[in-house]
Amino acid sequence: MPRKSRREDILRAGKKVFAEKGFQKTTVEDILRESGVARATFYSYFDSKKDLYVELLQSILDQLYSIASESLAGQPTTLKEFHAKTAETFERLYRFFLENLDFAAIYLREVMRVNPEIDFMVIRWQEKLGEFVKEILKKGIEKGLFKSMDLDIAATVIAGVPQHIALIYFFYKNDTDIAKIARNVATFLIYGMTDRRRPSNL
C-alpha cells in the first residue's frame, strides 16, 4: 500500500475514533484497529495520538477560518449587504458542520481542556478570527452602520456564535434547516448592532 494511503487511513481512523470516544478515552490501539495499519506504521507518521489529534484539529480550524474569510471578503456598504454576507457565512459554516459531523465533533464537543498545547492553539485561532471580525465591525461603525460598541467583546461574541449554534442545533436538537438558522442568527447579530437612529433602509 502506498505510504500516502496509509497516512490517510490513519487520519480517517483518528477522525472517526476521536469523534466517537473523545481524546482522553481513545488509545493508539483503537486507531490501529480502525485503520488496519501496524503500530510501526503509525509511529512512522505520528509521535503520539496527541500529534494526530493536533493535525486533525488544525485542519478543522483552517477550514473554518477559510470559510469565514472568503465569505466575508469585501466590505459591505449597507446593512442589507452586511446581513446577506453574514447569513451566507453562517450558512456555509453550518453546512460544513452538518456535512462533517464526525469531523466537527472533535472541535465542538471537547476541544478545550484536552491538553494545554491544544488549548493554546484553539485560543490563538479564536483570537485570529476575532481580529478579523473586529476589523469588519470597526469599518461598519466608521460608515455609520453600527452603533458604538466594545469591539473586543463584540468580536469575541460573534466569533463564538458559529460553533455554539452548531453544537446545540446539529448535535442536540438535530435541526437541519440551515438557511433558516443562518438567516436568523445574521438578523440578530447585524440588526442588533444597528444604530436605531439611522434610516432602516441602509
Q: What is the pLDDT along the chain (202 residues), one digit of tens a residue?
A: 555 689 999 999 999 999 888 888 999 999 999 999 999 999 999 999 999 999 998 898 899 889 988 888 777 788 888 889 889 999 998 888 888 887 777 777 666 666 777 888 888 888 888 998 899 889 888 888 888 899 999 998 888 888 788 878 877 777 678 899 999 989 988 887 775 554 444 4
Query: Which part of the chain is CATH 1.10.357.10?
Result: 50-192
What one-letter code names the amino acid at 100? N
Cα–Cα distance measured from residue 143 to residue 162, given in angstroms and rounded to the nearest whole number: 26
Cβ 129 vs Cβ 68: under 8 Å: yes
Q: Which fold has domain 50-192?
A: Tetracycline Repressor; domain 2 (1.10.357)
Q: Which fold has domain 1-46?
A: Arc Repressor Mutant, subunit A (1.10.10)
- DSSP for residue 168: I
* Longest pairwise C-alpha distance within the chain: 67
> Closest Cα partner for 166 from 187, 184, 181, 188?
181
What one-letter code names the amino acid at 8? E
Cα–Cα distance measured from residue 38 to residue 42, given in angstroms and rounded to the nearest whole number: 6
DSSP H or E segment with residue 113: none
Query: Which part of the chain is CATH 1.10.10.60?
Result: 1-46
Q: Which three cell numbers stand for residue 10?
A: 490513519
Cβ 11 vs Cβ 106: under 8 Å: no
Q: Which three cell numbers stand for residue 196?
A: 436605531
The pTM of the full predicted model, rounded to 2 decimals, is: 0.77
